[in-house]
Amino acid sequence: MIVDVATFVGAYPFRVLPGATPDALVGQMDRLGIDAAWVGDLGAPWHRDPRAANRNLDVLVAPHAPRLIPIPTVHPGLPAWEEDLQAAADAGAPGVRTYPMQQVVDPAGTAVQGLVQAAAALQLAVVLTVRFEDLRQRHPLDSVPDLPASAVRALARCDAGARLVVTHANRDFIEEVHFGLTPDEFRRVLWDISWVWGPPDDDLATLLGTVGEERFALGTGMPLRIGDGAFAKLDLLEGSEGRLDRLTGGNLRGWLK
């Protein structure tokens, strides 16, 4: 079963994205052979309060259950954010999304750590997004820095049960986090492959050898990016069918147990 941990639906603030509806996302998943996807709301990172976006996300993806799995957004700087987290757990979500850089919350501070700890207690993963777009192309008003690697290290260390899915990270970022954590800590971090380069530099192949194949999951970044990127680099990897099965779903399933 192929699962994509990095997809969105909804309106992006800085440009009109074709294919940002659930129907269109499912259409792309069909084309690419993706069975299920973790889906976030693309506007929620910039909303003052993501609660309405979460409700809207549920409604939008419901017709496509169980293929589209809503991942609600939690803003740990807001009052009663614990209710949003509990609602996600009650709904059976595998995790929640949080965006400290867009929410202007210290990404390694007590609020986000509190969310990671509370999510750990509920056995929910926390999905972090390093970036939405390349720094060079952002709208002039989108001056939000990328999520710093130091914050991911701090969050991975903040609770023995913390589990982080980090999306849209490149090789340098992944290495800086991974090799700055203990084995117990780095086993609780899962990376998606959407922003890791393939050949000829072969950053993905390098990371699979150094960081470990079991640390990676499929992410496409749709509809910000075309989903073919993740599959092209997988198809150019050397390796067995079993390896592809692990990277496109097996690792995620094992990690969530």
Residues forming the site for another protein (CB under 8 A): 15-19, 31, 133-134, 136-137, 140, 197-202, 221-226, 228-229, 231-233, 235-236
Cβ at position 10, least distance to another protein in Å? 14
Q: Cα separation of 73 and 254, whole Å?
A: 24
- The alpha carbon of 203 is separated from its chain's Cα centroid by a whole number of angstroms, namely 19
Cβ at position 144, least distance to another protein in Å? 17
DSSP 146: P
90 or 241: CB nearest another protein: 241
Cβ contacts of 90-95, under 8 Å, gap ≥ 24: 91/58, 93/69, 93/124, 94/38, 94/69, 94/124, 94/125, 94/256, 95/38, 95/71, 95/119, 95/124, 95/125, 95/126, 95/127, 95/163, 95/165
- The alpha carbon of 7 is separated from its chain's Cα centroid by a whole number of angstroms, namely 8
Cβ at position 256, least distance to another protein in Å? 27
Cα four-point dihedral sign 204, 200, 137, 224: negative
CA dist 84 → 44, 45, 61, 80 (Å): 13, 15, 18, 7
34 or 74: CB nearest another protein: 34
66 or 200: CB nearest another protein: 200
Cβ at position 20, least distance to another protein in Å? 8
Cβ at position 5, least distance to another protein in Å? 17
24 or 256: CB nearest another protein: 24
56 or 170: CB nearest another protein: 170
